[in-house]
Amino acid sequence: YKARCQLLNRYVAVKVLKAEYAKDETFVKRFKAEAQSAAALTHPNIVSVYDVGQDGDINYIVMELLETKTLKDYIEENGAMSNELTLKIAAQIASALEVAHRAHIIHRDIKPQNIVLNKNMVAKVTDFGIAKIATTTGATITSFGNTMGSVHYFSPEHAKGGYTDEKSDIYSLGVVMYEMATGKLPFDADSPVSV
């Protein structure tokens, strides 16, 4: 949701945990822990998280409002990007991932739909909703957000449901770079399983 912060008089985005997950105490704890970890990430190429909270049964994250287009929108409208622009955006995404990985956070859903470009072509990585805290075994939210369309960007180990680490994000970045440079995906098929 788009909302106005009355304290600082600015517009923000409010992301709400789906109601079907709100009754699962373990899921809510993981949601809060991972949201707080994402909030700790400060980088010009990562969307800023301002607050995490709960109001009754509603769990929410307040974050920077980005009213621009996604990298996916840009590619669909313009096709393949120049080598210079591909490298510029890829370097920004890689820089954001470096900061997240240093904080032991693996994004796990790097794709053009989760990269927002402003009018100056500065990239911001969004949606740490299925992020994995690398130091916490088994504390990964996998049911948050819509990851079905992400299979084109999954590393082989992620697609097989195996162990994922920082290298999985790097693989996904490579797929995003391929798509930026060519305007198409490296692997495509009729079904997610075939991909």
> Is residue 109 flagged as an active site residue?
yes
Which amino acid would we find at residue 58?
A: I
Measured between alpha carbons, how far is 166 from 106 in angstroms, rounded to an integer? Answer: 6
Q: Which helix (H) or strand (E) holds 96?
A: helix 83-102
Q: Which helix (H) or strand (E) holds 121?
A: none
Measured between alpha carbons, how far is 94 from 125 in angstroms, rounded to an integer? Answer: 10
φ, ψ dihedrals at 176, nearest 5°: -60, -40
Measured between alpha carbons, how far is 173 from 80 in angstroms, rounded to an integer? Answer: 16
Q: Which of 24, 51, 55, 109 is catalytic?
A: 109
Helix axes 83-102, 166-182, angle to 10 degrees: 170
Which amino acid would we find at residue 130?
A: I
- Contact predicate 152/171, CB 8 Å: no
Q: Which residues are catalytic?
A: 109
